[in-house]
Structure 1
């Protein structure tokens, strides 16, 4: 009978030499996609952002895999590692927190990999705003109340385009999910209050999906106070939305009076 290590090594042989940019999700290993789990179990090399990705996500990695933390590395150090390993016929998982399409800095990585003619694939993950909504047991698009979700951040060391300044986006009064902004929470709160009512509910979500996650639901006027009291300076998401305390509402999708391609109206 084959050992677990032998089985994993055999499975790895089927994984083509390439860089697999994998979304780790918010931190809960159970929220990894099945494809992400398979890649982690098969890859020869794992490069992971160890300041943002909790170590329990690496429990399924092969015992003989090379695991490299990148929190203390620059892109100029990370890229040659990935390129060299793939050219040596190894498979590389680049494990990012959340979903790679949001604030993951993969844009410059995929450009460099393409220029070096290194094959790569991007595997999506669950984002923190989705995990937060699940924890809060809410839908962020409630009929006749709010039908738009905005994912954004406030300007800091990385500037946002002038047309996307927070006060401008707040004018929509949509469900707004604010990333990477805890260090500038007072400015963020002031910009939001230009358009949202001070009593608008805000979920302050710290390390969603981690073992020490915390969530506070407070009025917008208390958003900065809670952040500063709890000393939240990173790994914090704010969900600002009237949907957090929405009254009873009903979608037309499953209403008996609503007909569509697969169902006739019963009204």
Structure 2
């Protein structure tokens, strides 16, 4: 039997991949993050499956449940909110599974930043404005950041920033990046994208903290920052330009 790590997407039950829904339907045991998941996602799970909410379990307890299920011949799905490629603790869990000799695989999901951009109706890379996106977080009650990955260093690039796990520090973070982006730079906060209680706030580096505090947001949000969020900014892609020579493929 195999442990399947599955990205549950941003929350909506119909934003899972076809593969993810198939795995959920076939699983004997499903571990899921109750704090971040719309309960409707679990409608894809077989009624006979065992459900384990991981929000009150530590890493060793979670892995123990995975190993135990594998040992008795059960297929296991370990759901993660968003996509497994960022902030999912995939490396810690799979390292322990490798040590225990338990096979595993990964099914990607829609990442929260992509769901946020969709709600905003904005491309995060706009010609002549920003061609890079920095997905990062800050340190509060969490693991230390590597020494070279300061927010100031990322802000200096002018790229579109998407801040994760940062909602409780919105004011101090905006103060930190204002010198690079300017107080009038567009900012959005997307809380629980695609879920019934989603909240979208639009402001600027200078105003967004007041909006966040007024809305009382404390978790489950991403914060895109950058001039690419301005619908009137930027140029047009050379790929589709009428002046481009299309006589040869390149």
TM over 0.5: yes
Alignment partner of 2:221 out of 236, 240, 244: 236
2:239 paired with 1:253: yes
Structure 2 residue runs without a partner (length 5+): none
The structure-2 alpha-carbon separation of the partners of 1:89 and 1:142, relative to structure 1 and needing over 3 Å to count, comes to: same
Q: Residue 59 of structure 1: SS of its match in structure 2?
A: helix
Answer whether contact 1:44 1:91 (CA < 8 A) is retained: yes
Would you identify which runs of 4 or more consecutive aligned residues in structure 1 move more than 4 Å? Answer: 260-264
Q: Residue 207 of structure 2: SS of its match in structure 1?
A: helix
TM-score (normalizing by structure 2): 0.95
The structure-2 alpha-carbon separation of the partners of 1:260 and 1:99, relative to structure 1 and needing over 3 Å to count, comes to: farther
Alignment partner of 1:81 out of 65, 73, 86: 65
RMSD of aligned residue pairs (Cα, Å): 1.5
2:169 paired with 1:216: no
Kindly state the Cα deviation for residue 148 of structure 1 after the two structures are TM-superposed.
0.4
Alignment of 1:18-57 (within 5 A): 18-57=2-41
Give the Cα–Cα distance (whole angstroms) in 2 for the partners of residues 124 and 258 of structure 1: 35
2:90 paired with 1:103: no
Aligned partner of 1:10 in structure 2 is: none
TM-score (normalizing by structure 1): 0.89
Give the Cα–Cα distance (whole angstroms) in 1 for the partners of residues 146 and 173 of structure 2: 16
Aligned partner of 1:168 in structure 2 is: 153
Answer whether contact 1:155 1:165 (CA < 8 A) is retained: no
Give the Cα–Cα distance (whole angstroms) in 2 for the partners of residues 161 and 202 of structure 1: 25
Kindly state the Cα deviation for residue 256 of structure 1 after the two structures are TM-superposed.
2.8
2:116 paired with 1:119: no
Give the Cα–Cα distance (whole angstroms) in 2 for the partners of residues 108 and 72 of structure 1: 17
Q: How many residues align?
A: 248
Structure 1 residue runs without a partner (length 5+): 1-16
Answer whether contact 1:167 1:194 (CA < 8 A) is retained: no
The structure-2 alpha-carbon separation of the partners of 1:35 and 1:259, relative to structure 1 and needing over 3 Å to count, comes to: farther
Give the Cα–Cα distance (whole angstroms) in 2 for the partners of residues 96 and 110 of structure 1: 13
Give the Cα–Cα distance (whole angstroms) in 1 for the partners of residues 7 and 136 of structure 2: 18
Alignment of 1:128-167 (within 5 A): 128-157=112-141, 158-167=143-152
Give the Cα–Cα distance (whole angstroms) in 2 for the partners of residues 65 and 229 of structure 1: 41
Q: Residue deviations 1:150-188, cap 9 Å, x none?
A: 000111122211211111111111110000011222221
Greater radius of gyration (CA): 1
Answer whether contact 1:200 1:242 (CA < 8 A) is retained: yes
Kindly state the Cα deviation for residue 260 of structure 1 after the two structures are TM-superposed.
5.7
Kindly state the Cα deviation for residue 246 of structure 1 after the two structures are TM-superposed.
3.7
